[in-house]
Structure 1
Amino acid sequence: MSELEQGRNLSPRGPIGLMSRVYKYVLPEVRSSLNLWRQDAQGIPDPELRKQALASIETKQFHCEGGGIYAAGNLSMRHILIPLIVAYQTISDYLDNLCDRSTSLDPADFRLLHQSMLDAIHPDAEPVNYYALRSEQNDGGYLNKLVRTCQEMIRQLPGYAAAAPEIHQLAVLYTDLQVYKHIRPELRESTLKEWWEQEGHRAPQLLWNEFAAATGSTLGVFMLFLSSCDPGLSEASAASIRAAYFPNVCGLHIMLDYLIDQDEDRAGGDLNFCNYYDSTEIMLNRIASIVEGARADVRKLPENSMHVMVIEGLLALYLSDPKVSEQREVRSVSKRLMRGSPLTRLFFFANSRWIRKHLY
């Protein structure tokens, strides 16, 4: 292996190296991959499915771009990681749109739709009609193609067998969340609390809404995709990687997402996990505690510099969002979370603003 190839296999050591890879490789290739899915979505025969597929790409592109960061951890495998991450995240975003703006409130429908996310991570699973329990049926093969793309990429990851049990566990929790958070509004909170009583032992330090938020992140899955590039990955190593990401890094990711979406979710009648604290002060302290927990967890990883940057990048990405300035309470929380920020976070904050201004 040449010195250049060895360098491409190594995680970036600092924020400048990471952003260099993001600008040169990740953003252009993620957008190229998304454009192909946009073309497929434009050909979906059913008008409602087409509308939601296109909307998920247009409004949630940054989810794929954020996930694509993990391809910067092994550039020589990005031809597998980027299509895989984009396809898996596109399934997630598309189904979230379908369920958020659903013509159905049937939990069995939501579970069947999300079976696609479980099939996508099992290379030998045979896709089925995921729309069988809803009126909209004809997507022209769009969802099945997304599933098969994930499977095709996963088959090329040499260490995937070791990571598969951990990825499956995260995907099952994600699927459960999507079912319970989209059922009839009056049942959501009680059902989520019952679920937390059964599964909360996985993260005893988190409150029910924080546990639910942690299960809604795909970052742990993407990190395990990256780890699966290593043919020597063991099941023990995969378990330690999952533990470093779930629950705290994953929880931080989604709590920040909900933090900035409070007005939007209120207008849409959508559940928001930041609305279950007794005060803004308690919410701030809880998020700050999750930040510290996430930092402590990733420091246990042998190559932890990239994961420390992920945490600072999450804070920078969400707290630099224009939606922050439009909400007085969120603006106050953001200022307090950003107070005393390390240089790395400020660097990512500036880059996040530049990307939004010049690349969107």
Structure 2
Amino acid sequence: MSEFEQGRSLSPRGPIGLMSRVYKYVLPEVRNCLNVWRKDAEGIPDPELRKQALASIETKQFHCEGGGVYAAGNLPMRHILIPLIVAYQTISDYLDNLCDRSTSMNAEDFRLLHQSMLDAITPGAEPVNYYALRSEQDDGGYLYRLVRTCQEMISKLPGYASAASEISGLASLYTDLQVYKHIRHDLREAALKEWWEENRSRAPRLHWNEFAAATGSTLGIFMLFLASCDSRLSKPDASLIRAGYFPHLCCLHIMLDYLIDQDEDRAGGDLNFCNYYDNTDTMLNRIASIVEWARNDVRNIPETPLHRMVIEGLLALYLSDPKVSEQREVRSVSRRLMKRSPLTRLFFFVNSRWIRKHLY
């Protein structure tokens, strides 16, 4: 057992302790950070960039709140973790909106935009004009400030050097995904499958659409941010944590996101990785298998109770979403996944519904 694993745990040991931290610290502080970025986005000169920046904050706030849960794992460091997680997730959501509703279908444009996510995790990297290959240019420094905020917070994480290569690897895969899934509709599936063939050894149990989904999650990065709060973190520790999250737990995260967005994506013409199964039963069985693989993976990393709560929390958060009740097939899958749920999942399910009803 490494010195890192032997260190005194700061993580909550159970769901009640976790949620008390979420209500008292995480949700208010995440929302304060988002309010700052919302005001910043309101000043973006270009109307299209301003529209997409504000829409990403308005409609995807829960992404930052979910990521903020990792700050509950080390409350004394939350003044670093929460601004970092919120800024990084805000970049992700903003760029996703720009690409989903893009005035361009240029792969190099998408790659240049997402260079900001690689620069954000590289202290000392000089931001460039990320909009150079698109017509909309003037964001008034909005994306630049998001990148700089991430760099500033990362420079305060004492164990970051040990996690940097694992974080960079996950961010690079995320960038590749955003490029391939946003190119012309008649090209994207072939590009994603070719990319999977090059990387399938990283996720031998997953199908091409599931591997792509796994690369779209930022949870592995956020967990490594949390681990980097400890100066005793070693590179083997960081590698173990990455393997605990990617590919299976990350895959579960994004497959659940796509599960509830099927109608929305169909209407918008957006790619949805849940649409590549032969039938509902196959999709259900695959998601159920991914849940079990994720549970097994997190047994191998420190603070297993926290990661098990993340898995149950993901299921509860997405399956309690109002979008579920609006889609007959999704409603059926949700009921079957929730059947015989452990008490932890039911606890998070109730809390997720309460948060949506009373705090939005």
TM-score, length-scaled by structure 1: 0.98
Q: In 1, distance between residues paired with 2:323 and 2:175? A: 28
Q: Secondary structure at the residue paired with 1:243?
A: helix
Deviations 1:234-293 (A, max 9, x none): 000000000000001100000000000000000000000000000100000000000000
In the other structure, the counterpart of 1:179 is 179
Query: How many residues in Structure 1 have an aligned counterpart in Structure 2?
Result: 354
Q: Is 1:199 the equivalent of 2:203?
A: no
Amino acid at match of 1:226: L
Contact (CA 8 Å) 1:8, 1:76: kept in 2 or not? Answer: no
Contact (CA 8 Å) 1:209, 1:276: kept in 2 or not? Answer: yes
Shift of 1:147: 0.2
Note the residue ranges of structure 2 that are not aligned, 5 or more in a row. 1-6
Amino acid at match of 1:74: N
In the other structure, the counterpart of 1:43 is 43
Deviations 1:124-182 (A, max 9, x none): 10000000000000000000000000000000000000000000000000000000000
Contact (CA 8 Å) 2:9, 2:303: kept in 1 or not? Answer: no
In the other structure, the counterpart of 1:137 is 137
Contact (CA 8 Å) 1:163, 1:224: kept in 2 or not? Answer: yes
Amino acid at match of 2:151: Q
Amino acid at match of 1:29: E
In the other structure, the counterpart of 1:4 is none
In the other structure, the counterpart of 1:106 is 106
Q: Secondary structure at the residue paired with 2:40?
A: helix
Equivalent residue runs for 1:54-93 within 5 Å: 54-93=54-93
Contact (CA 8 Å) 2:298, 2:307: kept in 1 or not? Answer: yes
Q: In 1, distance between residues paired with 2:137 and 2:144? A: 12
Q: In 2, distance between residues paired with 1:309 and 1:108? A: 38
Contact (CA 8 Å) 2:73, 2:226: kept in 1 or not? Answer: yes
Equivalent residue runs for 1:10-49 within 5 Å: 10-49=10-49
Q: In 2, distance between residues paired with 1:139 and 1:29? A: 25
Note the residue ranges of structure 1 that are not aligned, 5 or more in a row. 1-6
In the other structure, the counterpart of 1:3 is none
In the other structure, the counterpart of 1:342 is 342
Amino acid at match of 2:215: T
Deviations 1:4-33 (A, max 9, x none): xxx996100000000000000000000000
* Divergent runs of 4+, >3 A: none
What is the aligned-residue RMSD (CA, Å)? 1.0
Amino acid at match of 1:175: T
In the other structure, the counterpart of 1:94 is 94
Equivalent residue runs for 1:202-281 within 5 Å: 202-281=202-281
Taking a change above 3 Å as real, the CA distance of residues 160 and 73 of structure 1, as seen in their structure-2 partners, is: same
Q: Secondary structure at the residue paired with 1:253?
A: helix
Contact (CA 8 Å) 1:9, 1:76: kept in 2 or not? Answer: no
Q: Secondary structure at the residue paired with 2:213?
A: helix
Contact (CA 8 Å) 1:192, 1:208: kept in 2 or not? Answer: yes
